[in-house]
């Protein structure tokens, strides 16, 4: 167990954006909110999965919605606490710890904000090891822990309890339509899981991993080096291409930002053309007609000069970017997981997941 | 056509006369307290040097760092009330939450949250409450605040509530100037709101400054259109500049970098423009100012304008040398335009960075005997502070360890050593007026920002239409068709509006056909 420092939060925001693979919401807002809570004298303890009691109750918590809404319609501030209290009331029991449903993007910070206000510890791990657009895509759901009963809170004070969904996709559909009605963003707290289950199903150590990645980038910035080879080395990743964005299509589909990025190689990659498809997160990377990387492996787009992540909502025509591929955690590569987070789950027909090598 | 480019800095006013690519004349005169006198002197001298008459002048473009300096120095800023239309959303982070404390103090703590924010589809988050806005207006009037910034959630999608709030507040505060966030920027509440507040804080200064500039040009007998340079190196007419001073924020750096590229034909370089009060540091890549990826820091405030990736440090020729509590400081306080009366070498009694450069033998300006009494160790220590600050600034803008040249431009470049660490320093001819040259070679733009229905046509066809319209606007504004490039192209679908509505923004920029 250790207490998170302001420096940890700064690094976590940078690293979480990288693991966000374009989605997960803006970590900047979450960072400001975490720092605000720490400065108000509300410390947050980070505990390892192994420190959890087997019968402790752990609640995954995170924001749900479109990132472009998240940078414009900021939260009221107590959405997470309202969702948490609603669950406690429903169960008639106090919750012992919070965990991120999604380490990628702002959702790395959301449980920390709620933990600070509620005085709870945060678990070093999450349900994705990255970001994904839908809630049934957590390892918690994939390995058999239902998300319901779950609570959803908006900025107005509305709290919705989903007592039971017949399947995880049904919970996603019900929650998503509630989120759209709530105006595109809400905070969700999903069914508490026992500590013993979290130890088996959570992607371990991802808060520490994101802090480490963030520190690589921040240190490289200070030393005028490139963080890109360091990230590849630390994560067993591949540097796919340095490119300029020459085309950008996006539209909203059922509350998601869906689209496609056209890239033209620059510097050593001049002459190459590539495409990245996204649905909140980057889903596939295709070059010269061949899909080289797809979900659940991580496709990361960084500012080619600074090494900081570029999220889908701030992609712009003419930006110069580096595209990296990082292998996902083995928990996301089982047949069970690929049925939920593999290419077919995102409607990418004809694409077979070819895992990046990982030791 | 003859063009005059002018750079009104905190210390000097520079002017150049250009015809095509030829620089016919260049002058540098001290900026006057009233701005007008210095501008008139610069215009008169540069016309005399170029042997042209006022009627020959077809275009005057003025770049000024006045507004950026005011923010960096926290001077001439008006207290500004902030009305965020958001409730019950967005209470988690107050306006200006990520600002430096001293700048927040200059703006004052006049923050009001009210209903009137929108969802992404334009429907209200909560009902707009006219009474609530009127009560806020009464309170702002009671506090005597004369500038109001209004930032509504999703106002760039639909600005009705911002405008309605403005009307209600104007009724309560008839003397207040009001800035709407929907006129300033794009989505991203904190960044747009911050830019709106800064705009509000600068309005008084903007009115005084733009009036002085217009008067100066007119009194010289020049009756052609007067423009100001804006962030992207294009022209802003003076009436717009009075209302939206923030749109000129990065014009200084843009002009000096474009001027530096023009003068050296360098394509990869760090440009440091040392003025009297600040130095602007940026990067040339392929001959153009490197654009910031997402957000830009102005005096410690994040904004989301599209502008060059440039930062300012409070160091210039007029920076005041202060030794207090054992610590030696050069800047950020500056004598500004009073350099030529208050600096030691000019007969004054304030020790400035320029005095140190003269005492070191790096520059021959003013009367060197007036700094002969300074302790050589003290002078060397001051010079080391200046060099250290410039080296750190160049270092910060580097994006690779590969050494590239530093182009030193601006009147204050006498402070610049011959090398900064492992980087070679280049001083081009006319280095002192690079900024005015950048203003004179200003480009012009065409912009379309409209909601299109995509019901019966493709996205591609709509974007092509918008681009064609932006191009013809640019041509009408004087752009050469062959030089036009698209600098912004964005389509944001507005869900749940009938007819598959999409907001399309296209901006093109081209060279002036001269």
Cβ–Cβ contact B265 with A under 8 A: no
Banded model confidence at residue B514, pLDDT cuts 50, 70, 90: low
Cross-chain CB nearest to A252 (options B88, B395, B493): B493
Banded model confidence at residue B498, pLDDT cuts 50, 70, 90: very low
Whether B125 sits inside 8 A of A73 (CB atoms) is yes
The CA distance from B13 to the nearest CA of chain A, in Å, is 35
DSSP-based three-state secondary structure for B71:
helix
Banded model confidence at residue B501, pLDDT cuts 50, 70, 90: low
pLDDT tens column, B312-330 = 888 999 999 988 767 888 9
Which residue from A minimizes the CA distance to B306?
A: A316
* Domain A2-206 classification at class level: alpha beta
Which residue from A minimizes the CA distance to B293?
A: A319
Any alpha helices (H) in B228-308, and if so which ranges? 238-243, 251-264
Whether A75 sits inside 8 A of B92 (CB atoms) is yes
Nearest to A326, CA basis, from A287, A297, A285, A293:
A297
CA B338 to chain centre: 22
CA A327 to chain centre: 15
Task: Work out the mean pLDDT of chain B and round it to a whole number.
Answer: 88
Q: Collect all residues of chain A within an 8 Å Cβ-Cβ radius of residue B90.
A: 73-76, 155
The CA distance from B125 to the nearest CA of chain A, in Å, is 8
Whether A68 sits inside 8 A of B153 (CB atoms) is no
Q: What's the CA gap between B477 and B460, in Å, rounded?
A: 26
Which pLDDT score is estimated for B505? 81
CA B434 to chain centre: 16
Beta partners for B113? B84
Which pLDDT score is estimated for A141? 94
Q: Collect all residues of chain B within an 8 Å Cβ-Cβ radius of residue A261.
A: none
Per-residue pLDDT, averaged over B239-252, amounts to 87
pLDDT tens column, A98-144 = 999 999 988 999 999 999 999 999 999 999 999 998 888 999 999 99
Dihedral in degrees, nearest 10, Cα atoms B4, B7, B8, B13: -80
Structure tokens, A15: 């690293």
Topology, domain A226-346? CV3147-like (2.40.390)
Whether B93 sits inside 8 A of A319 (CB atoms) is no
- Annotated domain spans of chain A: 2-206, 226-346
Task: Work out the mean pLDDT of chain A and round it to a whole number.
Answer: 92
Banded model confidence at residue A296, pLDDT cuts 50, 70, 90: very high
> Taking each helix axis from N to C terminus, what angle separates B189-219 and B66-73, rounded to the nearest 10 degrees?
130
Structure tokens, A183: 């105006």
Which residue from A minimizes the CA distance to B283?
A: A305
Given a cut of 70, is residue B293 above it in pLDDT? no
Whether B187 sits inside 8 A of A71 (CB atoms) is yes
Which residue from A minimizes the CA distance to B99?
A: A32
Whether A73 sits inside 8 A of B117 (CB atoms) is yes
Q: Collect all residues of chain A within an 8 Å Cβ-Cβ radius of residue B117.
A: 73
Cross-chain CB nearest to B189 (options A71, A251, A305): A71
More confident residue, B353 or B442: B353
Q: What is the DSSP letter of B293?
A: S
The CA distance from A36 to the nearest CA of chain B, in Å, is 9
Cross-chain CB nearest to A314 (options B120, B294, B399): B294
Q: How many CB atoms lie within 10 A of CB A267?
A: 12
Nearest to A248, CA basis, from A314, A302, A294, A297:
A314
State the DSSP string of A273-300: EEEEEEESEEEEEEETTEEEEETTSEEE
Task: Burial-class residue B213 by CB neighbours within 10 Å (0-12, 13-18, 19+).
Answer: buried
Q: What's the CA gap between B284 and B292, in Å, rounded?
A: 12
Whether B459 sits inside 8 A of A74 (CB atoms) is no
Q: Collect all residues of chain A within an 8 Å Cβ-Cβ radius of residue B158.
A: none
pLDDT tens column, A54-75 = 999 999 999 887 777 888 999 9
- Element housing A339 (H / E): helix A335-341
Q: Which of B293, B461, B506 is the best residue to mutate to test the A interface, defined by the most A CB atoms within 10 Å of its own CB?
A: B293
Nearest to B446, CA basis, from B255, B291, B235, B248:
B235
Which pLDDT score is estimated for B497? 43
The CA distance from A341 to the nearest CA of chain B, in Å, is 26
Q: Is the complex ipTM higher than 0.90?
A: no
Q: Collect all residues of chain A within an 8 Å Cβ-Cβ radius of residue B400.
A: 224, 226
Which residue from B minimizes the CA distance to A69?
A: B120
Whether A317 sits inside 8 A of B490 (CB atoms) is yes
pLDDT tens column, B31-85 = 888 888 999 999 999 999 999 999 999 889 999 878 888 888 888 999 999 999 9
Task: Burial-class residue B131 by CB neighbours within 10 Å (0-12, 13-18, 19+).
Answer: exposed
Q: How many CB atoms lie within 10 A of CB B125?
A: 24
pLDDT tens column, A154-181 = 999 999 999 999 999 899 889 988 988 8
Parallel, antiparallel, or unpaired: how do β-strands B423-426 and B485-493 relate? unpaired
Q: Collect all residues of chain B within an 8 Å Cβ-Cβ radius of residue A314.
A: 293-294
Whether A308 sits inside 8 A of B293 (CB atoms) is yes
Q: Collect all residues of chain B within an 8 Å Cβ-Cβ radius of residue A76.
A: 88-92
Q: Collect all residues of chain A within an 8 Å Cβ-Cβ radius of residue B503.
A: none
Q: What's the CA gap between A103 and B457, in Å, rounded?
A: 40
pLDDT tens column, A304-333 = 888 999 988 778 766 789 999 999 999 999
Beta partners for B409? B273
Q: Which of A6, A72, A229, A245 is the best residue to mutate to test the B interface, defined by the most B CB atoms within 10 Å of its own CB?
A: A72
Q: How many CB atoms lie within 10 A of CB A345?
A: 19
Whether A75 sits inside 8 A of B400 (CB atoms) is no
* Domain B76-201 classification at class level: alpha beta
Which pLDDT score is estimated for B308? 81
Cβ–Cβ contact B488 with A under 8 A: yes
Cβ–Cβ contact B291 with A under 8 A: yes
């Amino acid at each position: 167990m250790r207490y998170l420092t302001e420096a940890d939060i700064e690094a976590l925001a940078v690293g979480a954006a990288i693991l966000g693979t374009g989605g997960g919401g803006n970590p900047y807002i979450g960072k400001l909110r975490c720092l605000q809570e720490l400065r108000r004298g509300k410390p947050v303890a980070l505990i390892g999965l192994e420190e959890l009691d087997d019968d402790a109750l752990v609640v995954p918590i995170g924001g749900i919605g479109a990132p472009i809404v998240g940078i414009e319609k900021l939260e009221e501030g107590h959405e997470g606490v309202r969702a948490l209290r609603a669950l406690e009331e429903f169960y008639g029991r106090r919750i012992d710890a919070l965990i991120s449903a999604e380490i990628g993007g702002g959702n790395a910070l959301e449980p920390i904000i709620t933990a600070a206000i509620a005085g709870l510890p945060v678990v070093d791990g999450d349900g994705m090891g990255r970001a994904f657009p839908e809630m049934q895509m957590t390892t918690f759901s994939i390995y058999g822990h239902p998300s319901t009963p779950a609570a959803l809170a908006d900025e107005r004070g509305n709290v919705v309890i989903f007592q039971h969904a017949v399947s995880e996709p049904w919970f996603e559909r019900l929650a998503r339509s509630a989120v759209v009605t709530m105006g595109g963003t809400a905070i969700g707290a999903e069914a508490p899981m026992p500590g013993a289950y979290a130890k088996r199903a959570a992607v371990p150590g991802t808060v520490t991993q994101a802090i480490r990645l963030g520190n690589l980038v921040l240190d490289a910035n200070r030393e005028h080096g490139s963080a890109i080879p360091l990230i590849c080395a630390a994560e067993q990743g591949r540097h796919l291409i340095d490119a300029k964005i020459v085309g950008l299509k996006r539209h909203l589909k059922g509350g998601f930002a869906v689209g496609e990025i056209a890239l033209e190689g620059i510097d050593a990659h001049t002459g190459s053309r590539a495409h990245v498809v996204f649905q909140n997160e980057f889903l596939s990377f295709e070059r010269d007609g061949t899909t080289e990387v797809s979900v659940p492996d991580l496709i990361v787009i960084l500012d080619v000069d600074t090494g900081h992540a570029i999220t889908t909502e701030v992609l712009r025509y003419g930006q110069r970017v580096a595209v990296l591929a990082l292998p996902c955690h083995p928990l996301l590569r089982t047949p069970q997981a690929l049925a939920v987070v593999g290419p077919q789950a995102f409607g990418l027909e004809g694409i077979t997941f070819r895992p990046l090598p990982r030791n | 056509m003859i063009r005059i480019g002018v750079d009104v800095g905190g210390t000097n006013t520079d002017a150049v006369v250009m015809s095509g690519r030829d620089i016919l004349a260049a002058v540098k005169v001290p900026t006057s307290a009233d701005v007008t006198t210095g501008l008139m002197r610069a215009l008169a001298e540069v016309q005399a040097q170029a042997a042209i008459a006022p009627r020959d002048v077809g275009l005057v473009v003025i770049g000024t760092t006045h507004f950026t300096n005011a923010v960096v120095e926290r001077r001439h800023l008006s207290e500004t009330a902030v009305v965020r239309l958001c409730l019950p959303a967005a209470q988690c982070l107050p306006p200006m939450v990520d600002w430096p404390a001293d700048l927040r103090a200059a703006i004052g703590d006049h923050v009001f949250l009210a209903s009137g924010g929108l969802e992404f589809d334009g429907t209200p988050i909560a009902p707009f409450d006219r009474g609530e806005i009127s009560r806020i207006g009464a309170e702002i009037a009671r506090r005597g605040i004369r500038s109001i910034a209004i930032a509504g959630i999703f106002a760039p999608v639909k600005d009705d509530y911002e405008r309605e709030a403005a009307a209600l507040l104007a009724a309560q505060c008839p003397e207040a100037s009001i800035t709407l966030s929907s006129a300033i920027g794009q989505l991203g509440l904190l960044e747009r709101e911050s830019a709106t507040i800064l705009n509000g804080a600068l309005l008084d200064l903007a009115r005084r400054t733009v009036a002085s500039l217009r008067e100066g040009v007119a009194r010289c007998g020049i009756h052609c259109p007067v423009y100001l340079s804006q962030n992207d190196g294009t022209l802003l007419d003076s009436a717009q500049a009075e209302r939206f001073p923030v749109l000129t924020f990065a014009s200084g750096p843009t002009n000096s970098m474009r001027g530096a590229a023009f003068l050296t034909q360098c394509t990869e370089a760090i440009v440091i423009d040392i003025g009297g009060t600040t130095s602007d540091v940026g990067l040339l890549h392929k001959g153009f100012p490197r654009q910031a990826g997402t957000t830009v820091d102005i005096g410690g405030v994040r904004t989301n304008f599209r502008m060059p990736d440039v930062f300012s440090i409070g160091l210039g020729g007029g920076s005041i040398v202060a030794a207090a509590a054992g610590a030696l400081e050069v800047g950020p306080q500056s004598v500004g335009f009073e350099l030529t009366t208050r600096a030691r070498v000019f007969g004054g009694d304030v020790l400035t960075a320029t005095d140190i450069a003269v005492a070191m033998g790096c520059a021959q300006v003013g009367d060197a005997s007036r700094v002969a009494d300074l302790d050589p160790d003290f002078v060397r220590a001051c010079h080391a502070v200046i060099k250290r600050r410039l080296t750190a600034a160049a270092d910060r803008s580097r994006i690779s360890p590969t050494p590239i040249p530093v182009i030193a431009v601006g009147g204050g470049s006498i402070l610049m050593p011959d090398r900064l660490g492992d980087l070679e320093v280049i001083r081009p001819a006319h280095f002192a007026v690079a900024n005015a040259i950048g203003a004179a070679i200003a480009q012009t733009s065409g912009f379309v920002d409209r909601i299109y229905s995509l019901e019966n046509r493709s996205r591609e066809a709509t974007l092509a239409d918008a681009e064609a319209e932006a191009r013809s606007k640019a041509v009408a504004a004087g752009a050469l068709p062959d030089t036009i490039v698209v600098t912004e192209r964005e389509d944001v679908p507005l869900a749940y509006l009938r007819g598959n509505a999409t907001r399309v923004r296209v901006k093109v920029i081209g060279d002036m056909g001269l």
